Amino acid sequence: MPPTACPPPSRLARAARFPLLGLLLVAACLGGCSESKQAQPVAPVLVIGIDGLEWSVLGPLVAEGRCPNLRGLMERGSYGRLATYYKALSPIVWTTIATGKSHRKHGITGFVDGRNEPFTSTRRGTAALWNIATAYGLSSNVCGWWITWPAEDIRGVMVSGSSSAALVNETWKPALLEDGEDQVHPVELNERVLAIAKQAGSQARLKQLLQEKVFGDPQHASFGDTERKIVQQSLWSVQSDATYVDIATDLLRERPADLNMVYIGGPDVVGHRFWRQYRPDGFAWARDPEADAFLASVIPDYYAWADELVGQLLAVAPEGVTVLVVSDHGMAAYPQALKAPPPPQAPHMTGHHLEGNPGVIIGAGPGIVEQGGVDEFLVSGKLPLHGQVSNVAQTVLALLGIPVGRDMDGRAVKGMLTGVALENMALPPVESHDADFRRPFRVEVPQAMSKSYTDRFAQLGYLDVETSEDELRIVNPDAAAAPEGDAEAVDPDAGQAPEGDLRDG
């Protein structure tokens, strides 16, 4: 059994209206919070999730000096490939990263359920890292992570994801809905968070970011209807990333937590839409050569900006912080788009990640091995395989000094850990961190939020992707054939894993 969770102050305040409940909660605190002090974090932890980060794009940019912050982490830490699911859909994978469990256990099986309704945090059937940290008396700040609406009652701050407007300059709104409920916990921070969102997501700020960081001129004279459409449909990702990173920056500066998590989604969005322009070899068709040439820099420019966002977070992170940068999958050319243009309803889909393209994992700071060999990697393109997406949560728990649950899938990435963090892998496991976790249930999603969510991911073609149980499996990129079922596809003792070349997108 995990230690009893100390109720957040907001829950204790509500309990004051009910004396008997208040006495029970105080008793729980007295009995359980002392046990929760058994958690001994190696250092504050900052987890930066970057969707769709692909090593064959990132490696050359690191070599060119365009991603100095990620290179700095690599030089003082560990880095490698991260195995992921075949048909790697973001809600599934990011929830696995946060829980250490497969979709069969956490219950998030796609973007929408059988009723075509977006999944919510209440549908998740297992504790996530922020719930586990709360149960052990540790604080968490979580910004923009997948499937976190409604915001959960945790020790710390949660700013939910999945509420950005789909067509930014047609329905101009910040990346959080001004009148949306349950987007921020605790509610006392709602006004402050929405003020940051309003400034970060303003039309003037977005125009500046588009021109200086990602697109140059988003209304370039060479653009036809298709180019204008795919640029327009990408604007929300720029707005969303700027917003959540600014909120996370404010939290790190003013109230850093034991566990800090923030999500950056844009590299995935532009990877889908501009892969042909970035890497045209293999495509048997083209549109306007001038427009294609202009858009060829969108993907590397977004990666460079994402590196700047990492630097922004590192600049205000607590001294001695341990940093993990992870992506849910990589990116490659979409085979069905090589011979002919995609259909008009999805003119963007030239890059994809449905074949288990491995993601990125980079770690640095206390508890992380100094792997070395960055210059050699930039020449050879060879990288170790550092476990799989279902090993990330256990790695974070080792850094936080919290035992894993026996019902979690696999263990921490041993090859990346050293010192006390490595020793923490030997902590006696608990049966489950879910023993006192609430059962999943449905809540009604506000119409504006639901429409924004489904519009955004329909544009990426995600809602048309069908998955079956035997397809949702971890792919070992170093194996001749992917294993079936939920068998452990990758040895998480990744320092001994075979090396492989970068996947050529």
* CA 155 – CA 136 distance, rounded (Å): 10
What confidence tens digit (pLDDT) does each residue in 61-89 have? 999 999 999 999 999 999 999 999 887 78
Q: Are 206 and 239 in contact (CB under 8 A)?
A: yes
Distance of CA 199 to the CA centre of its chain: 23
Angle at 79 between CA 76 and CA 84, to 5 degrees: 155
Range 365-370 average pLDDT: 98
Greater model confidence, 87 or 328: 328
Count of beta carbons in the 10 Å neighbourhood of residue 222:
15
**Chain-wide mean pLDDT for the chain?**
83
Q: Give the mean model confidence (pLDDT) for residues 459-482.
A: 54
Domain extent listing, the chain = 38-501
Tens-digit pLDDT profile for residues 187-209: 999 999 999 999 998 889 988 99
- Do 166 and 134 touch, CB atoms closer than 8 A? no
Check residue 280 and report its DSSP letter. -
Spatial CB neighbours of 60, under 8 Å, sequence gap ≥ 6: none
**Residue 68: cis peptide before it, omega within 30 degrees of 0:** no
pLDDT at 141: 98
Give the chain's length.
505
Least confident segment among 112-121, 397-406, 439-448, 493-502: 493-502
d(CA 369, CA 376): 17
Question: Considering the chain, what percentage of its residues have pLDDT values greater than 70?
Answer: 77
- What kind and span of H or E run contains 275? helix 266-278
pLDDT at 52: 96
Distance CA 462, CA 468 (A): 15
As a whole number, mean pLDDT of residues 126-130 equals 98
Which residue in this structure is represented by tokens 């921490």? Answer: 412
Q: Kindly indicate the confidence band of residue 6, based on its pLDDT and cuts at 50, 70 and 90.
A: very low
pLDDT of residue 225: 85
Q: Domain 38-501 falls in which CATH fold? A: Alkaline Phosphatase, subunit A (3.40.720)
How far apart are the two ends of the chain, measured CA to CA in Å? Answer: 45
Number of helical H runs and strand E runs in the chain:
18, 13
State mean pLDDT over 17-40.
Answer: 47
Residue 329 and residue 57 in contact, taking contact as beta carbons nearer than 8 Å: no
Tens digits of residue pLDDT in 147-199? 999 999 999 999 997 544 443 343 344 578 777 789 999 999 999 999 999 99
Task: Supply the pLDDT for residue 471.
Answer: 55
Whether the pLDDT of residue 486 is over 90: the answer is: no
Mean pLDDT (whole number) for 258-264: 97
φ, ψ of residue 49 to 5 degrees: the values are -90, 125
Which residue type occupies 424? Answer: N
Q: Which residue did the predictor score with more confidence, 235 or 278?
A: 278
CA dihedral 193, 198, 201, 203 (to 10 degrees): -170
Q: Which amino acid is at 9?
A: P
Neighbours of 366 (CB within 10 A): 17
Residue 213 · residue 305 · CB < 8 Å? yes
For residues 220-246, give the mean pLDDT: 89
At residue 500, φ and ψ (nearest 5 deg) are -140, 155
